[in-house]
Amino acid sequence: PPLEEQLNLDDFAITAEKVLSPKAWAYYFSASDDLLTKQHNNTAYQQILLRPRIFKDVRDVDTRTTICSSPVAFPVFVCPAAMARLAHPSGEAGIAEACGREGVLQCVSNNASLKPEQIMASRVSDKQPAWAQLYVQEDRRKSEALLKRVDALGFTAVVLTLDVPAPGKREADERVKNSVNTASATPSEGIQGKDKGLGRALFAGTTPSLTWEDLKWLRKHTKLPIILKGLQTHEDASMAARREVLELGVTGIILSNHGGRAADTAPPPVYILMEIRKHAPEVFDKLEVYVDGGIRRGTDVVKALCLGAKAVGIGRSALFGLSGYGVDGVRRVLTILREEIETTMRLLGVYSLEELGLEHINTRALDQL
């Protein structure tokens, strides 16, 4: 369908299923086991209600903010996701251009289907912020070499993904036999064992033995701010906010269950935000807290911000925007979200993001947590 007929993020998913190869769709759509966490990621937002206020001048609303010190047009970033060229030949470079045009930040996957040099060259300006996501390899020298490139290319932060010391069991991905050439330019070289699913194959070489101590190694090999991705409990958020961790240059955490692709029945980010508020509220003062997983609407974004998140990430939706439409599709996905965020702010009676707080939501349905 024509791009302007895509009115919300789910429309893009429906179109993507039609235009993608069965293998690409299975890889993007899949999640672990029974897909419970994937479903829950969004239904958790649906359980939170809004508390709109009246008699506020909301002619002008301002969605601008900063993420890890980079100015952005609105509080959404594109998550790292491997293999964007399965969606469209422009791949991660297309996403980079779309992000630049819409004023948002892209996090580039360790397993991108283009080289980081190609992706960074597609930015709209040299100032466009971008994060580099890292899966630490068994052979540390490979990761050290990638970090060197990342520093030299002008990335603005390193995102260390921690929620998949082992890949989840993504059955849809394993069922559809591989028919695509995946050996293209991934930093982790050619892909072995593709028959067990692309997700598992992309994982070969990643170390399962990282501990907090390894942050010292990471600090030695990058000058950039470090963001930890995949935290799922208040205990780990507290650990990340310890002085010795902050001193190593950790500036943010991404609460994430990998879009349901890691532990099935792991909690949705909304629950994690709520337990951090309850048991470790100091985390929000020490670190920027981001969330991803299941974002489909501007209201989801606003609710996450009310609970203390600084920004939210979208994974599959960016890939679905790219599918069939390329750069323009990703731009439209981002525009839809920005407009929905603006509308939600107006309807809440809020004109800047700083105003958003607990008073704008009713979380009673989740209070048992």
CB of 364 to ligand FNR, least distance (A): 25
CB of 261 to ligand FNR, least distance (A): 6
What are the C-alpha distances in Å from 368 to residues 41, 50, 53? 17, 19, 26
SS3 state of residue 368: coil
Give yes or no for residue 341 binding ligand FNR (CB under 6 A).
no
Give yes or no for residue 191 binding ligand FNR (CB under 6 A).
no
Q: Which of 163, 236, 264, 292 is catalytic?
A: 163
Of 100 and 197, which CB lies nearer to ligand FNR in the complex structure?
197
Q: Which of 27, 28, 135, 325 is catalytic?
A: 135
Interface pick for ligand FNR out of 26, 48, 82, 356 (rule CB under 6 A): 82
CB of 56 to ligand FNR, least distance (A): 31
Give yes or no for residue 228 binding ligand FNR (CB under 6 A).
no
For strands 76-78 and 311-314, give the pairing. parallel
What are the C-alpha distances in Å from 37 to residues 113, 126, 181, 266, 369? 27, 38, 30, 6, 16
Give yes or no for residue 173 binding ligand FNR (CB under 6 A).
no
SS3 state of residue 44: helix
Of 133 and 182, which CB lies nearer to ligand FNR in the complex structure?
133
Of 199 and 348, which CB lies nearer to ligand FNR in the complex structure?
199
For strands 70-72 and 130-134, give the pairing. unpaired
Instruction: Name, in order, each residue with C-beta under 8 angstroms of 320's C-beta and a sequence gap of 6 or more.
Output: 9, 12, 13, 15, 16, 28, 87, 329, 333
Give yes or no for residue 258 binding ligand FNR (CB under 6 A).
yes
Compute how many residues bind ligand FNR; rule: CB under 6 A.
Answer: 25
Instruction: Name, in order, each residue with C-beta under 8 angstroms of 113's C-beta and a sequence gap of 6 or more.
Output: 82, 83, 84, 85, 86, 91, 92, 182, 184, 185, 186
Give yes or no for residue 295 binding ligand FNR (CB under 6 A).
yes
Give yes or no for residue 304 binding ligand FNR (CB under 6 A).
no
Count of Cβ atoms closer than 10 Å to residue 125 Cβ: 6
163 is catalytic: yes
Tell me which residues in 105-124 interact with ligand FNR (CB under 6 A). Answer: 109-111
Q: Which of 88, 258, 300, 360 is catalytic?
A: 258
Of 48 and 348, which CB lies nearer to ligand FNR in the complex structure?
48
Q: Per residue, what are the HEC states of 219-262?
A: HHHCCCCEEEEEECCHHHHHHHCCHHHHCCCEEEEEECCHHHCC
Pair 227, 255: CB distance under 8 Å: no
Q: Which residues bind ligand FNR (CB under 6 A)?
A: 27-28, 41, 79-82, 109-111, 133, 161, 229, 256, 258-259, 261, 292-295, 314-317
Active site residues: 135, 163, 258
